[in-house]
Chains A and B, each alone.
Chain A
């Protein structure tokens, strides 16, 4: 039905109003992202990439243009419907993790399930959250609080939270922005591994070496797409980790 296209933006504009001034942030972007792609969205600050990310994440609606997500036009939906789309089809990973403090890793991961359409029992919630936490290498840390976890571990909890509802698209906004280089590679290894298993990943970054882990790079400037190309020399995070840390390398 969607011939492999999961995300399709058609001439999307977004204009912010600050008083009398109209500030165009996105000025006519059309892009198609197919199932199983790993796209890095790049650009300087003010290039409109964050605004585009918010639209892709159904946090914001385009002023004009259409956004077809998984075969359905979501550009005209109201707040509650957008909330449902975010819950079912999109997983978010943020630069600053955005975990709930004073809430255990497991409860953080359970959060999207709580707001889901399915009514799950506590045991089911726990089982699913623990399974996803284990898949990002955090088995045994389910009861830790964010303050007890390192930055990389917190970001993995956030990834687990993004994955728990089995979304169509994983959206990551500068996922390595707050992490050191080694932890960044670890997170990229998880992303690449997830992408291998078939999950579509869209990631905003301004670091070219992080973008090099993606399959496709999209450059933005002044609200339009400047350049869109496939990555020829793709970095492999798992291999890099091995060479970086020698024998005691463990990705997940």
Chain B
């Protein structure tokens, strides 16, 4: 009962920080799933009759731009031209509305997205615009159920594509999009046979060394400005983002969340500490006679001070330990039922425990000093 404030405080700290760290780890994992050292170049927007399209709307990126990047920017180890559409796909008597991604053969390396089964399409497939594709887990289950889709024919806009592989599941993206609801095919095939058009929505570029990322980004910008004949002082007709920028923004958000949750929990720790102080003050009053007896038989002020401090710290530490157990339990329950990822780190447990002990010392000091300063005669006479 006494230590309840501390239990709630420490438990809340553990659970909150656990949730915060879990969210952060999840975001980081998703950012990493974009690929390492990746630069994304989006086609610019265009304004037509005052209506501005979003990124990729203008179709300013050409296949030749991607080839120029592949050829001229040092440190580039992979380039994937990307076109995106959504359409109805069908096989047998099943059909499904899904996203179509046209990519180069480098895409699977750039995104670090291996196949669960089968083989990816090859550069040869891209050159010849072959009617082959790989599909995500969701699409596979929706159309083929438990059947093995590899080697089957998938009709996309009435064009028959042969499925060469199934991707490993990636789960939901940060925006909550099912990343496994997808069909990926050579961008050449997508442009010629499914989507049409001659321009790319974006280009994914992978750089070998993270230290080259900034330089490569600048080179890509100047290369594209040159290729697109943009005079100095005019805006780019494309947008370049690197994955680190996206990651920083996302982790900053979750860090703010963790701090916020942590400080709420911190407030309850302080409240718990005041509870401890209150109980210790009551205890000092109740045990005034005992303090007097101890002093009469030779306890010094420091002995009494130490005794009450130890009691306060024990109280808050026991509360802290119970709180840690409760907090871990609450995190597990949240993970299990609310499907929130939580991550309990050793450091957060250690900090919570030390903090609860510190609360004991801090809030126990005043009552303990009060006890130590008692006059032995008064204390002995106390009823």
Which residues of A line the B interface, CB within 8 A?
54, 57, 59-60, 79-80, 83-84, 86-88, 92, 94, 98-100, 111-112, 115-116, 161, 165
Distance between B302 CB and nearest chain A CB, rounded to angstroms: 8
Q: Does B89 contact A (CB under 8 A)?
A: no
Distance between B296 CB and nearest chain A CB, rounded to angstroms: 5
The DSSP consensus for interface residues of chain B is helix
Known A83-B295, A100-B290; judge A94-B300 contact (CB<8 A). no
Q: Does B333 contact A (CB under 8 A)?
A: no
Distance between A104 CB and nearest chain B CB, rounded to angstroms: 15
Q: Does B334 contact A (CB under 8 A)?
A: no
Distance between A23 CB and nearest chain B CB, rounded to angstroms: 15
Known A59-B376, A60-B377, A98-B293; judge A88-B300 contact (CB<8 A). no
Closest to A101 in B: B290
Chain B stretch 277-327: residues in CB contact (< 8 A) with chain A: 289-290, 292-303
Pull 28 A–B residue pairs with CB atoms less than 8 Å apart, ordered by A: A54-B377, A57-B296, A59-B376, A59-B377, A60-B377, A79-B300, A79-B301, A80-B301, A83-B295, A83-B299, A83-B300, A83-B301, A84-B298, A86-B297, A86-B298, A87-B297, A88-B298, A92-B296, A92-B297, A94-B380, A100-B293, A111-B293, A112-B297, A112-B298, A115-B297, A115-B299, A115-B300, A115-B303
Distance between A119 CB and nearest chain B CB, rounded to angstroms: 14
Distance between A117 CB and nearest chain B CB, rounded to angstroms: 9
Q: How far is the CA of A161 from the CA of B377 in the complex (A)?
A: 18
Residues of B within 8 A of A (CB-CB), count: 17
Q: Is the CB of B296 within 8 A of A59?
A: yes
Contacts of A98 in B (CB 8 A): 289, 292-293, 296, 380
Contacts of A80 in B (CB 8 A): 300-302
Q: Which of B289, B290, B297 has the most CB of A within 10 A?
A: B297
Distance between B243 CB and nearest chain A CB, rounded to angstroms: 64
Contacts of B289 in A (CB 8 A): 98
Distance between A66 CB and nearest chain B CB, rounded to angstroms: 20
Q: A92-B296, A115-B298, A115-B303 are in contact. List 12 more A-B contacts (CB 8 A).
A: A59-B296, A60-B377, A79-B300, A79-B301, A83-B295, A86-B298, A87-B297, A94-B380, A98-B292, A98-B380, A111-B297, A115-B299
Q: Is the CB of A161 within 8 A of B301?
A: no
Q: How far is the CA of A111 from the CA of B297 in the complex (A)?
A: 7
Distance between A97 CB and nearest chain B CB, rounded to angstroms: 10
Contacts of A59 in B (CB 8 A): 295-296, 376-377, 380
Distance between B223 CB and nearest chain A CB, rounded to angstroms: 80
Distance between A155 CB and nearest chain B CB, rounded to angstroms: 14
Q: How far is the CA of A84 from the CA of B303 in the complex (A)?
A: 12
